[in-house]
Structure 1
Amino acid sequence: MAQTDRIAVVAGGSAGVGRAVVTALLDKGYKVAVMARGQARLDEMAADLGEDKVFCQSVDVSKADAMEKAAKAIVEKWGAPSIWVNAAMLTTFSPFEEMTAEEFEEILATTLGGQVNGTRAALKHMTKGRIVCIGSGLAYRPVPYQSAYCAAKHAINGFVGSVRSELLRQKSRVSISLVQLPAINTPQFDWARNRMDKKPQPAPPIFSPDFAAKAVMRAATGKERELLVGTSVVKLIFGTMVLPNWLDKKLADDGVESQKSDREESGDREDNLLSPADYPSRAEGSFGDRASDDGMIVDADLARKVVFFGAPALAFLIGLILG
């Protein structure tokens, strides 16, 4: 079937940032195919939003064959998409030495492998449009107790950069973009496997899923290769470039505590690592009272130019003035 301009796919779209992106796409008149593991949340979405607007499929994004089968079904139903968003993720809050090999591999398989499989499936069917991969400030500045998640996000940067160059070489009409997110108030902090003595929280400053979706929509419809979302991400990236050793020590002192809320953790809560958690289809988590709906969204290439060319120029001008 031919490609249209108003078909989108969101892998990992039944909760969290992906769920907010689904709403944003629907508001712009797109039909949205949603992939996620949890059938109950998908059924809820189909009932609430209408099967004429959303096409929900239960898919484990870590399985390449399952992803390709789902993509083929979307194309047969509606046609090829013009937007594809890879948003699925898993994490744990755990010291590395206490994390099992199975846990680490599961996080890599979904958080990295899901984006790889989604991109592969998208490129088999899209002849034009935009693939958006969801990254994180932690792709540049890792934090303690999330070693697997940070490893996956670092790898996504390398994967996307390689594929982007291949698409440019091919003069493809499909392009790929990265959105590096800050701490977002999503359900992951309610359902991720946790070995801390307190309930996890997004490390402040905290932003809403709607703010994240705004950045994703800009990436999906614009031309920027990478967006940095929130001043905290900008600080993490450029702080790491200038003072990596200082940040290592600071995060050794404060990095774990900043991820702990003041809420007690029962220790036996249901988690979503190996199977979907019983949780409604919503974007927001439990920290909405502290989440901001607005902030800075920066073109990463422009930010780098300002830092590396603007700072020396400013120093030169100051020198002229003082001289």
Structure 2
Amino acid sequence: MSRTVVVTGASAGVGRATAREFARRGDRLGLVARGLTGLNAAADELRVLGAEALVVPADTADPAAVHAAAEHVENLLGPIDVWVNVAFTSVFAPFTEISPDEYRRVTEVSYLGYVNGTREALTRMVPRDRGTIVQVGSALGARSVPLQSAYCGAKHAVNGFTSSVRTELMHQGSRVRITVVQLPAVNTPQFSWNLSRLPRHPQPVPPIYQPEVAARAVVYAADHPRRKQYFVGASTVGTILANKVAAGLLDRYLARTGYDSQQTGERVQPQRPDNLWRPLDGEDDSAHDYGAHGVFDDRAHGCSAQTWPSRHAWLAWSAAALTAGGVALRARRKRRS
């Protein structure tokens, strides 16, 4: 039976790949993002797959815009069954090089955007006593890294917010579900269009996965939302567990390696275009469709061997213990060298 699904950040990256995955199942899609070029291209892809797709331009940082988007989707596609929060923006820079306005903007999109989306979903789902909300999170919501303080702070906030809402729904005896999918490094356009003050091109820290890996996990979580969170990639599980058992070692390890590991060898122009305040896939003549993939296709994995154990928690954490031990050992060796 087809469902009505809203995906924020659907114009590119994980959101774009997730919308395609739902479309293959025959679901109706409400596509929310700022950039019309990317949204229209995404909608065309979904229609080729035989799905009904509705383009809904909106800035998720604006609660009124998110409310209007939700109303528009329900008016044209029917009651919302699944809401997926993906939209975000970020700044690659040391904390002291990020202005207060920039920091606020990242927080408004990457954290409050999730709050706004969740509010609109619950406003509709709770009275019906059905529906699922999927928050697309990150391993960086449990283990922060340098040069991404605004993003890490937002992802930590999403986890705390979601846990609070989950317990409120449990208290009410509601059948509405909310879950989080924690992602590893993913090959998306964010590394080409997020604001960066780094001297070299930003990059995800390997292992890198293709957005389709994340998308499959999101759809699975929407189908099986009783778990409070899912982990994509062994690196995600290993990072989270290692932070629990060896946080101090990871601090020192990341202080020494976290700057270089998040940059390629390619120099970038100091004022390269970014999407913090306006979408790069907007409506002007210079806009183009960025698609789901970033520029690291040659280094990205199209599948994750950890996907199956992620759905079976006790196996995932057992495997992660070995990964965490290896991370801690490497950090210790780095410290001694």
Shift of 1:225: 1.7
Matched to 1:282, the amino acid is G
Cα distance between partner residues in 1 of 2:80 and 2:314: 29
Does the C-alpha gap of structure 1 residues 195 and 65 become closer, same or farther in structure 2, counting only changes over 3 Å? same
| 1:35 equivalenced with 2:38 (yes/no) | no
Kindly indicate whether the alpha-carbon contact (under 8 Å) linking 1:5 and 1:82 is maintained by their aligned counterparts in 2. Answer: no
- CA apart distance, 1:164: 0.6
CA distance in 1, matches of 2:144, 2:121: 29
Letter in 1 for 2:22: L
Q: 1:238-277 maps to which residues of 2 (within 5 A)?
A: 238-277=241-280
- Percent identical: 40
| Distance verdict in 2 for CA 1:227–1:308, change over 3 Å | closer
Secondary structure of 2:29's match?
Answer: strand
Mapped partners of 1:157, 1:301: distance in 2? 18
Structure 1 residues 279, 180: CA separation in 2 closer, same or farther (over 3 Å shift)?
Answer: farther
Tell me the SS of whatever aligns to 1:227: strand
Partner of 2:21: 24
Shift of residue 112 of structure 1?
Answer: 0.4
CA contact (8 A) 2:20 2:45 kept: no
Q: 1:90 to 1:306 in 2, by over 3 A?
A: same
Selected match of 1:225 from 222, 225, 228: 228
The change in CA–CA distance for 1:279 and 1:111 in structure 2 (over 3 A counts) is farther
Report the alpha carbon displacement of residue 43 of structure 1 after superposing the two structures with TM: 2.6
Which residue is equivalent to 1:123? 122
Give the residue type in structure 1 aligned to 2:17.
Answer: A
| Per-residue Cα deviation, 1:38-61 (whole angstroms, up to 9, x for no partner) | 122223333444497110111000
> Are the aligned partners of 2:95 and 2:147 in contact in 1 as well (CA < 8 Å)?
yes
Aligned partners of 1:304 and 1:291: how far apart in 2? 22
Match of residue 93 from structure 1: 92
Q: 2:111 corresponds to which letter in structure 1? A: L
1:201 aligns with 2:203: yes
TM-score, with normalisation over the residues of structure 1? 0.90
State whether structure 2 residue 212 is matched by structure 1 residue 215.
no
* One-letter amino acid of the counterpart of residue 56, structure 2: Q
Calculate the TM-score normalised by the size of structure 2: 0.87
Q: Secondary structure at the match of 1:196?
A: coil
Aligned equivalents of 2:18 and 2:28: distance in 1? 12
From the superposition, tell whether residues 184 and 52 of structure 1 become closer, same or farther in structure 2 (CA, over 3 Å).
Answer: closer
Question: What CA distance in whole angstroms lies between the structure 2 residues aligned with 1:246 and 1:271?
Answer: 34
Q: Does 1:282 align with 2:291?
A: yes
* Deviation digits for residues 195-219 of structure 1 (CA, Å, limit 9, x no counterpart): 1111011111100000010110111
Asked whether 1:137 is paired with 2:136, we answer: no
Q: Can you give the 5+ residue segments of structure 1 that lack an aligned partner in the other structure?
A: 310-323
8 Å contact from structure 2 (residues 29, 51) kept in 1: no
Equivalent-residue separation in structure 1 for 2:65 and 2:192 (angstroms): 27
Shift of 1:304: 7.9
Name the counterpart of 1:149.
Answer: 151
Shift of 1:300: 8.1
RMSD: 2.1
When structure 1 is superposed on structure 2, of 124-133 and 91-100 the one drifting more is: 124-133
The answer (yes or no) to whether the contact 1:45–1:281 under 8 Å persists in 2 is: no
The CA distance in 1 between the partners of 2:157 and 2:185, in whole Å, is 19
Asked if 2 retains the 8 angstrom alpha-carbon contact of 1:44 and 1:281, the reply is no
8 A Cα contact 1:14 1:42, kept in partner:
yes
User: Is 1:15 matched up with 2:12?
Assistant: yes
Cα displacement (A) at 1:129: 2.2
Q: CA deviation at 1:224?
A: 2.1
Aligned 8 A contact 1:16 1:186 in 2: yes
CA-to-partner distance for each residue in 1:59-89, whole Å, 9 max, x for gaps? 0001111101110111111111211100001
Q: Which ranges in structure 2 are unaligned for 5 or more consecutive residues?
A: 281-286, 322-337
1:148-190: CA deviations, max 9, x gaps?
A: 0000000011000001111111121210000000000000001
Counterpart secondary structure, 1:245:
helix
Shift in Å at residue 282 of structure 1?
1.0
Residue pair 2:185, 2:209 contacting (<8 A) in 1 also: yes
User: Structure 1 231/19 Cα, relative in aligned 2: closer, same or farther at 3 Å?
Assistant: same
Provide the C-alpha distance between the structure 2 equivalents of 1:107 and 1:257, rounded to a whole number of angstroms.
23
Matched residue SS, 1:46: helix
Q: Which residue of 1 aligns with 2:105?
A: 106
- Number of residues of Structure 1 aligned to a counterpart in Structure 2: 307
Matched letter for residue 114 of structure 2: Q
1:179–1:215 Cα contact (<8 Å) kept: yes
